[in-house]
């Protein structure tokens, strides 16, 4: 800093912010510690334009999961009914117990699929973990959800795929081993 004018000189030297040693004013990299000043001058990562596609797609996938969950719960409740007392005509070789077991298994499967679809839809709304969203949408489709759920999940899947650039990428894992300065 010039003591007479109070203005810092643009030529000469400065102290490195990392190691404190004196370096040339126009140095891009500290010759002593390797601190890179160019990285500070780079523009910040641009924000991705957000459309409503991921949010709407996530909402549709959540709705599909809720329908699948309801359908699974209704099947589980239907598995507790004694169909012999209702005089239900069953195919030959198919007993009331077989029907109850089938409804219990399908109900459990559809309820779990619906729950997975809800999780995927929540991640879509948050625009995180694109792969989890895709899996949730697929489970929403196969959970059927009174047929309407499958249609909603399919539309939600299309909307999410269209907006895949809006999803945050997971940070890269740190390199294994000691930092490069300590490697031999």
Q: What is the pLDDT of residues 16-53, one digit of tens each?
A: 988 999 999 888 889 999 888 776 555 555 566 788 99
Q: What is the pLDDT of residue 50?
A: 80
Would you say residue 19 lies in a domain?
Answer: no
Domain that holds residue 109: 53-166
Would you say residue 11 lies in a domain?
Answer: no
Q: What is the pLDDT of residue 6?
A: 44
Would you say residue 119 lies in a domain?
Answer: yes
CA angle 104, 111, 56 (to 5 degrees): 155
Would you say residue 126 lies in a domain?
Answer: yes
SS (HEC) of the chain? CCCCCCCCCCCCEEECCCCCCEEECCCCECCCCCCECHHHHCCCCCCCCCCCHHHHHHHHHHHHHHHHHHHHHHHHHHCCCCCCCCCCCCCCCCCHHHHHHHHHHHHHHHHHHHHHHHHHHHHHHHCCCHHHHHHHHHHHHHCCCCCHHHHHHHHHHHHHHHCHHHCCCCCCCCCCCCCHHHCC
- Sequence-ordered list of residues with C-beta below 8 angstroms from that of 44, at least 6 positions apart, any chain: none
Domains contained in the chain, number: 1
Would you say residue 33 lies in a domain?
Answer: no
pTM of the model: 0.67
- Among 75, 85, 154, 59, CA closest to 112: 75
**Along the chain (184 residues), what's the average pLDDT of each consecutive run of 10 residues?**
47 87 89 80 59 94 97 94 83 89 96 97 95 96 93 97 84 60 51
Would you say residue 80 lies in a domain?
Answer: yes
Would you say residue 20 lies in a domain?
Answer: no
Would you say residue 180 lies in a domain?
Answer: no
């Amino acid at each position: 800093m010039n003591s007479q004018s109070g203005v810092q000189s643009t030529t000469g030297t400065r102290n490195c912010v990392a190691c404190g040693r004196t370096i040339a004013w126009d140095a891009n990299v500290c010759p002593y510690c390797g601190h890179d000043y160019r990285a500070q001058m780079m523009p910040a990562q641009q924000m991705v334009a957000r459309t409503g596609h991921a949010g709407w797609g996530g909402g549709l996938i959540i709705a599909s999961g809720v329908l699948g969950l309801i359908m699974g719960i209704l099947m589980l409740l239907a598995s507790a009914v004694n169909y012999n007392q209702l005089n239900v005509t069953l195919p030959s070789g198919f007993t009331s117990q077989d029907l109850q077991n089938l409804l219990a298994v399908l109900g459990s499967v559809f309820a779990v699929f619906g729950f997975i679809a809800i999780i995927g839809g929540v991640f879509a709304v948050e625009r995180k973990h694109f792969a989890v969203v895709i899996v949730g949408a697929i489970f929403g489709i196969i959970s059927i959800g009174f047929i309407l759920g499958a249609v909603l999940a399919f539309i939600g899947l299309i909307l999410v795929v269209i907006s895949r650039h809006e999803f945050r990428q997971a940070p890269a894992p740190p390199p294994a081993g000691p930092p490069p300065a300590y490697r031999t």
